């Protein structure tokens, strides 16, 4: 390491001494009887030496790749990964930020942000769906046409950013409409009452379902 504590011999070699409290007094009264030029030299030596040490500190902080092991940042442990990389240093962190890897440190639920971004798509995938039973997948918009009966199931282990959309109409006229779903969904929006979604006839529905540690669903309904 190129930065050490100041030693007494080093200070003597550089001529670094404390500034006198009575520079012009005579020796008998405890002064040092310094001339004007000697006093100036005393004042000049200390800041010059401090500047030299500061420059050496800056050089160590910004060590070239060839001397990276001498950089102070290489000696400071971040403690960010005690179980997998106990030797992770501040210099590692700087390099990872410059390389665009910082998203790997931020978590979204149980995933890192980089993992979520890797799964992200720029456009919603639209699927035309006509069956009566549906277990939706993440990132899909299901266009179900006119629905008289729909039985909805949900994934057992959804990712923490799970989101899907159901779009469907209910028939007009006589007959019934039935939309069944598992318990535990927190509903909000149109045609929702007492914590339940009750689809009505002659309506166009857009239902957004997502998972944020619990299942949530928002309903928008409009008359046909």
Q: Which residue has the higher pLDDT, 58 or 146?
A: 146
Confidence of residue 20 (pLDDT cuts 50, 70, 90): low
187-211 pLDDT, tens per residue?
999 999 998 999 999 999 999 999 9
The count of residues in the chain is 224
* SS3 category, 79: coil
Range of the domain at 164: 125-223
pLDDT of residue 3: 47
pTM: 0.48
In this structure, what token pair is assigned to residue 5? 């504590």
- How many domains is the chain built from? 3
Asked if 160 and 213 count as a contact pair (C-beta separation under 8 A), the reply is yes
Asked if 156 and 133 count as a contact pair (C-beta separation under 8 A), the reply is no
Residue 66 lies in a domain: no
In this structure, what token pair is assigned to residue 173? 């006229």
Considering the domain architecture, whether residues 144 and 214 belong to the same structural domain is answered as yes
In this structure, what token pair is assigned to residue 187? 């509903």
pLDDT of residue 91: 77
């Amino acid at each position: 390491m190129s930065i050490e504590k100041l030693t007494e011999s080093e200070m003597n070699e550089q001529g670094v001494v404390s500034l006198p409290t009575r520079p012009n007094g005579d020796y008998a009264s405890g002064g040092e009887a310094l001339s004007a030029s000697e006093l100036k030299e005393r004042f000049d030596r200390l800041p010059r030496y401090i500047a030299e040490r500061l420059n050496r500190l800056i050089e160590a902080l910004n060590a070239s790749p060839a001397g990276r092991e001498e950089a102070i940042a290489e000696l400071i442990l971040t403690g960010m990964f005690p179980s997998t990389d106990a030797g992770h240093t501040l210099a590692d962190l700087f390099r990872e930020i410059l390389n665009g890897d910082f998203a790997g440190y931020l978590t979204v639920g149980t995933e890192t942000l980089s993992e979520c971004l890797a799964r992200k798509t720029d456009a919603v995938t639209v699927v035309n769906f006509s069956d009566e039973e549906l277990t939706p997948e993440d990132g899909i918009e299901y266009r179900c046409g006119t629905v008289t009966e729909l039985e909805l199931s949900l994934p057992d282990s959804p990712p923490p950013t799970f989101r899907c959309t159901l779009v469907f109409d209910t028939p007009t006229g006589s007959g019934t409409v039935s939309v069944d779903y598992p318990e535990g969904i927190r509903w909000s929006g149109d045609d929702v009452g007492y914590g339940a979604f009750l689809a009505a006839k002659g309506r166009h529905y857009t239902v957004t379902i997502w998972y944020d540690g619990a299942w949530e669903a928002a309903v928008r309904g409009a008359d046909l």
